[in-house]
Structures are given as structure tokens and as C-alpha cells.
Amino acid sequence: MKLDRLREEVEFGLGNLNKIHERIKEFARASVELSILQSALTYECIGYYNALEHLIVRVLKGLGKPIPSGPSSHKDTLRLFGEILTKVGMLDTQSAVEFIEELMAFRHVTTKIYGFLIDWGKLKSVVDQIQQRHGLLETLFDELMQRLERNKEE
């Protein structure tokens, strides 16, 4: 895939991520019963991770990389993405990758249990982290595209 097309794909994916981020902020401010709030935020946080993973998959596909499948596909997808970041010289990505790993773990747990078993404190922590670190992810993908475009020119 050409880089201009990949940039369009990344911008589309970031747009989706931004929409979900805005919904999370909106729900986090809402004055509703805790059980309703917890369900809404859990759903949106799972969606946030899914949108993020789809964005990573768009990058992998755009660069002609194989898309992992199987029981460890989520971890393998993140590992391949990390290799791309390193290859283009993005060495200070540990915080972003750790954040994605935390979201992955949250998604895994929340899709395996009943909603009423989700711990409010852990959910609140994930919501707070998304609100604090969303900009970090936007910057990560923007810098990745800039580096890919620069490397193409060289």
C-alpha cells in the first residue's frame, strides 16, 4: 500500500479512536446510576481497545506485514507493531506499548466475565488512563507516519 493511502487509513482509524475517546469523556462526566455508568464505560473502553487494535492492524496491512491469528494474536499483533516502531527509529515507545498492553488485559478480562463482576476501581483507573494517555497514542501514530514518509524519501 502506498504511504498516502496508509496515512488516510491511519487518519480514519484515529478518527474512530477520537470518537470513542470523546464518548468515554462524556460518560465519565454523566450523572447516572453507577451500574449504568459502569456498563456504558466498560463497553466504550472495550471499543477503545478494539479501535486501537484495528488501527495497528491497518498499519501492519499497509506495510505488507502478516496479520497474526490464533490464541496469541493480540499479543503477536502488538509485538509486530513494536518491531515496526523500533525499525523506524521510534525507541521511546515503552509507555505507549505498556498502555496498550494494559488495555489489552482489560479487554480480555471484561469479555470473559459478567458485567456486574467488573471492579469499579479498576474500570475507573482504565478510564482515567485513557483520558490521560489518549494524546500519547495520537502522537505515536502521527510520528510513525512522519518517519515512514521520511524513510521513503531517503
Sign of CA pseudo-dihedral 68, 100, 123, 11: negative
Distance from chain centroid for Cα 20: 11
Supply the pLDDT for residue 118.
83
Contact yes or no for 70/22 (Cβ under 8 A): no
Q: Mean pLDDT over residues 126-133, rounded?
A: 96
Q: Mean pLDDT over residues 31-36, rounded?
A: 91
Contact yes or no for 75/51 (Cβ under 8 A): no
Half-sphere exposure of 111 (CA within 13 A, CB side): 12
Helix or strand or coil: residue 93?
Answer: coil
Contact yes or no for 55/14 (Cβ under 8 A): yes
Q: All domains of the chain, ordered by start, with CATH?
A: 3-153 (1.20.120)
Q: Mean pLDDT over residues 138-152, rounded?
A: 93
Q: Kindly report the average pLDDT of the chain as a whole number.
A: 92
Is the pTM above the cut of 0.95?
A: no
Q: At 19, list the grid cell.
A: 470518537
> Which pLDDT tens digit goes with each residue over 78-129?
999 999 999 999 988 888 999 999 999 999 888 877 666 788 899 999 999 9
